[in-house]
Structure formats: C-alpha cells, structure tokens
C-alpha cells in the first residue's frame, strides 16, 4: 500500500511493535488483543501523533485509523495530571454518527482498560442524563457527535478547559452532514495549545479550509490515492434491472448466499419505508433479517446491531445511517437494493465488506432511473479492475453522448417516413438530418388527436 507523508521532521514508521518504546500498558493491550503488526496508517500515524504533531490523515474505511488515534490518545492522557472534580475530558473525539461514536468508544474502552482510563460516549437519540453523569464521574476521553456535545456544553454540564488532544474523525462526512457550525463553536472552547488530528476519507476544499483554520504546521499522511476509490478486495457485481424485478432477484441472491458458511449481509435501501418493506418481505420468506434506520429508537437500534454483530440475525437492512458508523469485520456481502445518491455513498456502503484484508462481494441493483450515475459508477468499477456489465456501459455511453428523445409512431407512419427520407436522401444526402426532423414533426402532427 502506498503511503505518502508531507511535512517536516517526520519520524520513522513503526513496522513492528518492538520498533518503538511503547508503554507497558499499551504493549499489554496489544498482546491481549493478538495484534500482530501495525496497519499502514498506524505504522506512520502513531509516531507522528506520539511526537505531538498536528496531523491530517487521508485514509479509507477499514484502514485501522481508529486505533491510529486512540492509542496515542491513551499515551497522551497518561502524561497529563489526573482529573480533578469538575474537570472536563483531556481527549475529545468528534464523529459524525452515533454508530461511529459507539465504535470508537468500544476501542477506547478496550485499549484504555489497562491504565484505567474512562471514556464516555455522547450522541443524540438517547437520554442526556446518563451521559452527563458519566462526565461528572470523570471521563478522560469524550467521544461525541457535534450536536449532542454542543447541547451539553451550552447546558454548562461540562467544559473543555482540560482538553489538549482533539480528533476530528471522518471530517468530510461531518461537513457533508452540516456540522461545520457546531464544530467551529466547539473548537473555540478548546485551549489553543492543543494537539489536533483530523481524519478524512477525502480531501475536498471544505476539509482543507477546516484544517488550515484549526491545525498548526500539520503533517499530512495519505494512505493510498487521495481520490475516493473502492476497496480492491471487494468483488463488485452490477445487475441492470427493472425496479419491479428487485425483490425476486434479492430472494434468489439470498438463497445462494445462505448456502455459505459465513454469510453476514448488509442490504442498503434508499428510504426508511423501503427498509421496512424489504425487511418484512424477507422475514415472510424465512430469512432472519432485521432493519435499522433513523426512525428507530436508540434502544431498538442498539439491539438490532447487537443481534447482527452476534450473528443471531445475519442479515441487516439499512439506510445510509449505518453506512459509515457500522464496524463489523466479517461482513461477507453488501447488497445495494437501491443505488445511493452518488458514487461516494456507494463506495462507503460497499466498504462495509472486504475489511482488514479479507475478501468481500457487493451486489448492486441498477435501474434505468439511475442512468445519470452510470458514468461515475463505471469509472469506480474500472479503477478497481472490475468487470463492467455491458448494459451498464451502454447506459453510461448514452449519457456521455446525450440521449435523444424517441417518438413512437404507428407502423404505417414509420413506413411512410422511411420511404420519404430515402427519396429525399437520394437527391441530397447532406440534408437528411434536417428532412428527418421536419418529417418527424409532420408525422407527429398527423398522428395527434383532433
């Protein structure tokens, strides 16, 4: 994997855990969780973060970036004075969704247990009371969605005066979701001598502006290409079909998938209503499917994700609410029942499989109603060296050349048109196109109702 680093005084990467004098409590957790070696982003990201530098990391999902900023955060906390009553967190991690925040919380809880570090997770859709009590009990790490954290700050229930290590995870996604005003308000409450790390899957102008405003002399770490691209460990199969055929095609796919020993599957739909209807249809057909979307209560969402992770319900039907935050290593299949709004969401969806070096398969139902996205999808497939469905290529070509409106006429009218065009073309081929347009116009008038 290609890694590029832009910055000054860049430390050497950590190829093995023995290459760097990591604290005993870190090594103990590494051994307990059977980590063999750092991932590419951890190998270069850890020494950068441990040196106290501000860092911008551009990396795709499944790269190991969560531990890339959590482990240095644990070390950072252990070098700070202990919290006193009324102190806020030392480390703040901002994340776009509750699912991603909970996943980061889980990593922080596991990795911080060796040194008795207490994380707290703040997110909307759940009661504030227990979250505020956890803050009051003393939490060195706060993982939060921007909206919920700002609510609690404005209530005066915590403060950021002790925060010296700030992480913006999936910064591009947070900006896409409209969190920039909240992020800026939160950062103004953090001391200026903090260390800041920003992680993003892409590097658009808005993310660059955020980095320029809030990071100092940062080092930029790029893992792979900076262009958004699909994981090459994923087999991508696109089925160009009618919307009415999707349900039958889905059932056929699931019958084939469930024959495999491992068949944990995520099915993405574009609307909450479709999630519910697809889930009902599968359950009627005997498949152990469960649905998740934004209208579900937080306890219900937590229970569904728990059932999915445990394998009791190996089929999850979801809207894009789960596309980035859900972290399950052994998802074997992703099915795009509905194509998303664009290829960026498509890449994030299929990125739920093929993680940690494993192979995965993504199936996509693509209708003629999605034709305006065909060209971009073909580019994603070609970059990942995937076979392009000829029907998809044809849709992309039609869009590239520009589709012409097609008029349907009676057979007798068509015969008359053909004869007239041939006759005129014989006299002057150069005017054929003009004549065709004129004749079609006349024919349309002839066939129009009185």
Nearest to 88 by CA among 24, 184, 40, 158: 158
pLDDT of residue 414: 41
Q: Retrieve residue 123's tokens.
A: 């997110």
Which domains can be identified in the chain, with CATH numbers?
A: 3-223 (3.40.50.300), 234-401 (3.40.50.300)
Rounding to the nearest 10 degrees, give the CA dihedral for residues 323, 327, 333, 335.
-10
Q: Retrieve residue 15's tokens.
A: 């190829």
Nearest to 365 by CA among 404, 337, 397: 337
pLDDT of residue 172: 87
In which region does residue 82 sit, left (phi positive, over 0), alpha (psi from -120 to 50) or beta (all else)?
Answer: beta
Q: Retrieve residue 281's tokens.
A: 């249809």
Mean pLDDT by 10 residues, the chain (450 residues): 84 81 81 81 90 91 83 94 95 94 94 90 95 96 97 97 97 85 97 96 86 96 76 95 97 93 92 95 94 87 88 92 65 96 87 85 97 95 96 88 45 45 46 41 40
The residue whose two tokens read 């973060």 is 49
Task: Judge whether 421 and 436 are in contact, CB under 8 Å.
Answer: yes
pLDDT of residue 2: 73
d(CA 275, CA 256): 21
pLDDT of residue 159: 97
Mind giving me the DSSP string for 120-149? EEE-TTS-HHHHHHHHHH--SEEEE-HHHH
pLDDT of residue 323: 54
In which region does residue 442 sit, left (phi positive, over 0), alpha (psi from -120 to 50) or beta (all else)?
Answer: alpha
pLDDT of residue 432: 42
Mind giving me the DSSP string for 334-390? EEESS--SSHHHHHHHHTTSS-TT--EEEEEEE-GGGGGGHHHHHHHHHHTTPPPPH
The residue whose two tokens read 């012409």 is 404
Q: Retrieve residue 122's tokens.
A: 């703040």
Nearest to 149 by CA among 189, 112, 194: 189
The residue whose two tokens read 């911008």 is 56
d(CA 206, CA 217): 18
What are residue 144's DSSP bridge partners? 94, 122
pLDDT of residue 247: 96
Task: Judge whether 148 and 97 are in contact, CB under 8 Å.
Answer: no
d(CA 20, CA 47): 8
**Torsions phi, psi of 215, nearest 5?**
-110, 150
Q: Retrieve residue 151's tokens.
A: 């609510």
d(CA 339, CA 337): 7
pLDDT of residue 220: 95
CA angle 428, 429, 431 (to 5 degrees): 75
Q: Helices (H), strands (E): how many in the chain?
A: 17, 14
How does DSSP classify residue 188? T
238, containing H or E segment: strand 234-240
């Amino acid at each position: 994997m290609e890694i590029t680093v832009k910055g000054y005084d860049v430390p050497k990467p950590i190829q093995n855990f023995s290459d760097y004098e990591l604290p005993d409590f870190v090594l103990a957790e590494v051994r307990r969780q059977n980590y063999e070696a750092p991932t590419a982003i951890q190998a270069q990201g850890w020494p950068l973060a441990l040196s106290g530098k501000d860092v911008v990391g551009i990396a795709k999902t499944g790269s190991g970036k969560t531990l890339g900023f959590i482990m240095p955060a644990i070390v950072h906390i252990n070098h700070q004075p202990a919290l006193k009553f009324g102190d806020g967190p030392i480390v703040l991690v901002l994340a776009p969704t509750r699912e991603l925040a909970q996943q980061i919380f889980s990593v922080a809880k596991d990795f911080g247990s060796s040194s008795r570090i207490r994380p707290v997770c703040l997110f909307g859709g759940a009661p504030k009371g227990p979250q505020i009590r956890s803050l009051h009990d003393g939490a060195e790490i706060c993982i939060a969605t921007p909206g919920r954290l700002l609510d609690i700050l404005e209530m005066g229930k915590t403060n950021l005066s002790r925060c010296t290590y700030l992480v913006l995870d999936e910064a591009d996604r947070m900006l896409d979701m409209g969190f920039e005003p909240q992020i800026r308000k939160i950062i103004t409450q953090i001391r200026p001598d903090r260390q800041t790390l920003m992680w993003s899957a892409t590097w658009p102008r808005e993310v660059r502006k955020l980095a320029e405003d809030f990071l100092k002399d940062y080092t930029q770490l790029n893992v792979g290409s900076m262009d958004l691209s699909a994981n090459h460990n994923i087999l991508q199969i696109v089925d160009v079909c009618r919307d009415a055929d999707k349900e039958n095609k889905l059932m056929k796919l699931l019958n084939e998938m469930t024959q495999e020993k491992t068949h944990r599957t995520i099915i993405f739909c574009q609307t909450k209503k479709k999630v519910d209807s697809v889930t009902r249809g599968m359950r009627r057909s005997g498949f152990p499917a469960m649905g998740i979307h934004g209208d579900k209560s937080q306890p219900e969402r937590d229970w569904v994700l728990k059932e999915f992770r445990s394998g009791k319900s190996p089929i999850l039907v979801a809207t894009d609410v789960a596309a980035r935050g859900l972290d399950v290593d052994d998802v074997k299949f992703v099915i795009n029942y509905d194509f998303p709004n664009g290829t960026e969401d498509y890449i994030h969806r299929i990125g739920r499989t093929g993680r940690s070096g494993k192979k995965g398969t993504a199936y996509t139902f693509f209708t003629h109603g999605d034709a305006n996205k065909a060209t971009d999808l073909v580019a994603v497939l070609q970059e990942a060296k995937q076979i392009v469905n000829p029907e998809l290529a044809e849709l992309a070509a039609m869009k590239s050349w520009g589709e012409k409106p097609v008029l349907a006429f009676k057979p007798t009218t068509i015969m008359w048109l053909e004869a007239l065009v041939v006759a005129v073309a014989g006299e002057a081929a150069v005017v054929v196109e003009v004549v065709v347009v004129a004749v079609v116009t006349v024919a349309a008038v002839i066939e129009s109702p009185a």
